[in-house]
Structure 1
Amino acid sequence: MPTMPKSVFWSRIDTAGSDHALFDDRRGLSARGVGLSVDPLPYTCRYELVTDETWSPTRLEVSVEGAGWLRTLRLERAAGQWRASTAEQGDLAAALRAIGRPDAGLPGTEDPDQFGDAIDVDLGNAPLFNTLPVRRLGLLDAEPGTAYRLTVVWVQVPSLVVIPAEQVYTALGSGRVRFASEGFTADLQLDANGYVEHYPGLAERREPAAR
């Protein structure tokens, strides 16, 4: 497994948890990361993401594991079409029922054609994925008010259910981009390379303490 020259670390601010992503962004993005969360039940989410040189995703592999269950998902885009393959061990639905939460649904999708010409993929609770449309569309350098409405392949966590989602990204200037989807809106603060520093309601970037 190749080493990665860069990394970012986020602390969750909506629940106890974190996300640590290692990546190489010299020619598009190659990344792998680990997310930890206590809600809706304790789980570890591991992911690997590959894009082409335009920052358009070509492959995403995700595994989510908790006590007594494990789900995996592989998404690949070829010839403009997404394909998904999944596997499950144990019973996430039973684990959720045991704590009074509703069934999360089956991983993956039964109809990959519903994504149409969607380019971007979004993994729940993982701030790294907001960088993909920001870099692909050049939003950091765009005129404030420039907006793009996108259909993205949204991977829910921890279920790994895959559904289409409508998202709007709007350039605000000064390293800020407004993200909106399904009635939710957040003004993301980004660094000079388009990586999230502050995601209101979700995560805050952390840096090593000065020595």
Structure 2
Amino acid sequence: MADEHTIVARWRDWAGEGLEHLILQVGVSGIVAEATVIGTDDGGGPFALTYRISCDPKWCVRTLEVLPLGAAQPLHIASDGAGAWTTGTGNPLPILNGAIDVDIQVTPFTNTLPIRRLGLGKGESAEIVVAYVSLPDLSVTADRQRYTCLELGRRYRYDSVDGDFSREIEIDGDGLVIEYPGLFRRVL
């Protein structure tokens, strides 16, 4: 993989009603993901949003911005890359202490963050804490998750540590989701 490159990816939700378009810029000084997502939330309401995630070169999230179209207030949080978080105005968010990654409910891209950052070998597993963003309210909570590498560079198992949700996800050579059964399919 080249040191500096841009990846364009697109996913549909499993029902085929939602779409995400992502531009991922990977460089020696850091990683930036920008995307637009349209779909329906858990309550069946339509939504459209944009998000921007910036990471340091080791794939540790440094900033997250989520802007639902038509919303007055975007979500903006920042991290020191080691698990301490603040609001966009600099107020501490102790509820997120220890979280390195983010997980936005409506995108498969955020699975790429821990997959790339952890660099697990086949059979290895890691339990992590993420800053989990729910829609439509943009609430942010800490969520414990586990990733297990089933086949290096191809398949991982995702487990919700505090729940019963588990999926085997297929990825490409860049760590981007190809198929997340029941939730997302890559179309570009």
Scaled to the shorter chain, the TM-score interval is 0.7 to 0.9
User: Which TM-score applies when normalising by structure 2?
Assistant: 0.86
Large movers: runs of 4+ above 2 Å: none
1:194 aligns with 2:175: yes
Unaligned runs of 5+ in 1: 87-109
User: Partner of 1:193: helix, strand, or coil?
Assistant: coil
Structure 1 distance, partners of 2:183, 2:72, is 24
* Cα pair 1:63 1:71 within 8 Å, conserved: yes
User: Partner of 1:25: helix, strand, or coil?
Assistant: strand
1:47 aligns with 2:48: no
Q: State the Cα distance separating 1:15 from its structure 2 match.
A: 5.8
User: Partner of 1:114: helix, strand, or coil?
Assistant: helix
Q: State the Cα distance separating 1:84 from its structure 2 match.
A: 2.1
User: Partner of 1:36: helix, strand, or coil?
Assistant: strand
Q: Which residue of 2 aligns with 1:89?
A: none
Of 148, 169, 186, 2:126 maps to: 148
Q: Which residue of 2 aligns with 1:138?
A: 119
Q: Which residue of 1 aligns with 2:157?
A: 178
Unaligned runs of 5+ in 2: none
Which structure would you say has the larger Rg?
Answer: 1
Higher helix proportion, which one? 1
User: Which TM-score applies when normalising by structure 1?
Assistant: 0.77
% identical equivalent positions? 31
Structure 1 distance, partners of 2:68, 2:157, is 28
Q: Which residue of 2 aligns with 1:159?
A: 137
Q: Which residue of 2 aligns with 1:23?
A: 24
Aligned length: 176
Q: Which residue of 1 aligns with 2:87?
A: 84
1:143-186 deviations in Å (ceiling 9; x for gaps): 22x11011111011221100000100001015100001121111
